Each structure stands twice: as C-alpha cells, then as structure tokens.
C-alpha cells in the first residue's frame, strides 16, 4: 500500500476536530448570524460532550472575539486565525489519515467549487495551509472531488455516488472503472461501492455523506422513505443497493419536507451526523422524526451518546454537521 493512505472510519479516535466560522454575508444572505451561532454550539458540543479538542478557524481578530463570545470559556476549543473561504471544511481540506509509522498524511483532491457552482475565494488555499499547520504530508489526486463525496469504513471499503463523482462538472471523462483506478492510486481501496444519486436540492450533486454512513465495517445507515416525503424513490434505491452489496442496513427516518426562509427546498437529512470521540452529534429539525433518529443512532454507536442539535440554519447554506467538520486522526 506504499503511497496510498488508509482513510480511517469516523468512529476511530480523533486528536482534534477542525471547523471554520462563517463570515461571508454573500454566502449567508439570509442567516449569517444564525449560522455562526450554530457553529459555536457545535464547537461546544464536540469539545464538552464529545470529549474532543476543537480547532476553530476565524478570519481575523474581530471574528475571533465574536466566536469567543458565542462559544464561551471552553478550554478545549482553540481559535485559530487563518485565511479560508466558507465553513465547509469537509470538502475544502484534505482527508486525513496516518500511515503505519504514525505519520500524518492528507489526500488532497482537485477542487472546483462543487462543480464550479460556488467558487469562493480562499477555498482552494485552506487545504495546503492546514497540512502545513499540522505537519502532514500531502498525497495529491488528479480527481476533482470533495471529502463529503467519500465514506470510509476504515477497512478498505468506500461508498460514493455517481451523481457527484462522475458528474461532467467534475470528472467529465471518467467512468466508474477509471475513477476507481485513480482513487486507488492515493487511497487504500479494496472495494468502491457505487450509489447512483443522492438527495434532490443538494448543492453538492448528491454527496454520499447526506444519504449513507457507516456505523461499523459491515453496517450502513441510510434513510427510510415515506411516499409523501421528498426523495422517496432515491432513498428506496439507496437502501436496496446497500442491501444487495451485502451490508447490514439500518434505516433512519427521513425528515419531512423543509424549506429555507425564501421557500427554497432543503436537502434535510439525519445522515450528516458527526462521530466525536464520545458522542454522535446529530442534525435535528424540531420535528417528530428527530427522536427516532436519535434513538437509532445511539443504538448504532454503543458507548456514545447521541446528541441532537438543530441544524436548520446550517442546512440553509447547503449542509450540516459532517459537512463542516474535518477530524484529525489520533496517533495509534
């Protein structure tokens, strides 16, 4: 596996979790302050209840003071001044892992603003900065991709969606076979499992972390459809494909139809959770399905508390808790 990196499963121990404080009013025209409060709450929850150190990026001293005021005195939250675009660090920073010697590496893909739809200044610069900050070696891939497009079980199996990975706005000449070959050049890969598409209204063209997540090497969480809910046909196909691939499938409820304040439909999901060292931080929406999702996830991750945080304000920007976090693996 020389030159290729094992991407750990998210339930493996983390040395820290990296997040970024939203600051661009052009990216958050309806709810910048609310998104900032959501990130602050998430930082506190990961640090205090997830028992995981947090590193929060801010653009300048003024935003540093603002973030401090929102988060409060939490010793395990470190605020770091740096240049970055928006808060979606899962996609704009490299996927991190350690080699057998314990050395930290990062797989860095080409990044084009989610298919040239959201080209934000400094989004391409934060990845190299982070690798330098943590002393990680870069493994570069020619694939155009974001971190949220891949879900690893830590044992060589990765999930992805064709609607994103093979989209002409990212990898126009790729086939499933050529994509798999290119990915296996940098990532330790025994099996790549394809789902055809993700959620409607997802800005990312259907990232897998919105629809399917590992809970163990052989267990995958996805969402159970209801005929009157959005994405029912897609969710049925995902569950069926995962079952045919031989996984133990555990279904979460699907949230009901949600819309942003301007009426735009939202890609609501319970799959975009973050697995911290001692908790699972779950996006919730103030609906009846929240309780069932929390109970299911607590059963799926024994020994970790499932904690619900309202994710509506972040979802208005296109994602939730997995999208805004980048875990730094702990030394083994």
What amino acid positions are annotated as catalytic residues? 323
Nearest Cα neighbor of 86 from 110, 60, 120, 117 is 120
Contact indicator for 169, 116 with CB cutoff of 8 Å: yes
Residue 242: exposure state from Cβ atoms within 10 A (0-12, 13-18, ≥19): buried
Nearest Cα neighbor of 15 from 56, 51, 65 is 51
Contact indicator for 142, 182 with CB cutoff of 8 Å: yes
Distance CA 128, CA 131 (A): 5
Distance CA 302, CA 287 (A): 24
SS3 label, residue 61: helix
Which residue do the tokens 């063209």 mark?
A: 205
Nearest Cα neighbor of 134 from 22, 224, 55 is 55
């Amino acid at each position: 596996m020389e030159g290729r990196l094992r991407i750990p499963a998210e339930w493996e121990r983390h040395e820290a979790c990296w997040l970024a404080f939203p600051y661009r009013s052009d990216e958050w025209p309806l709810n910048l302050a609310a998104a900032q409060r959501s990130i602050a709450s998430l930082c506190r929850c990961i640090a205090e209840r997830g028992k995981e150190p947090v590193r929060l990026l801010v653009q300048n001293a003024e935003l540093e003071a603002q973030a401090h005021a929102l988060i409060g005195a939490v010793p395990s939250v470190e605020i770091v001044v740096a240049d970055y675009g928006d808060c979606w660090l899962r996609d704009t920073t490299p996927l991190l892992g350690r080699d057998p010697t314990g050395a930290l590496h990062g797989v860095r893909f080409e990044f084009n603003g989610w298919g040239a739809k959201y080209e934000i200044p400094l989004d391409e610069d934060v990845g190299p900065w982070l690798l330098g900050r943590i002393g990680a070696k870069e493994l570069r891939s020619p694939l155009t991709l974001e971190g949220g497009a891949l879900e690893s079980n830590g044992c060589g199996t990765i999930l992805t969606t064709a609607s994103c990975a093979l989209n002409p706005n990212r990898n126009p000449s790729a086939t499933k076979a050529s994509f798999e070959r290119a990915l296996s050049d940098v990532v330790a890969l025994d099996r790549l499992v394809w789902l055809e598409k993700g959620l409607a209204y997802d800005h990312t063209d259907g990232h897998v972390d919105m629809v399917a997540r590992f809970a163990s090497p052989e267990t995958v969480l996805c969402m159970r459809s209801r005929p009157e809910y959005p994405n029912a046909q897609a969710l049925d196909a995902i569950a069926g494909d995962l079952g045919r691939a031989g996984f133990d499938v555990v279904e979460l409820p699907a949230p009901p139809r949600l819309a942003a304040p301007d009426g735009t439909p939202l890609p609501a999901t319970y799959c975009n959770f973050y697995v911290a060292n001692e908790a699972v931080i779950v996006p919730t929406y103030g609906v009846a399905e929240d309780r069932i999702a929390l109970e299911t996830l607590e059963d799926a991750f024994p020994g970790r508390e499932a904690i619900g945080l309202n994710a509506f304000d972040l979802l208005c920007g296109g994602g939730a808790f997995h999208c805004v976090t980048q875990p730094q693996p702990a030394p083994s």
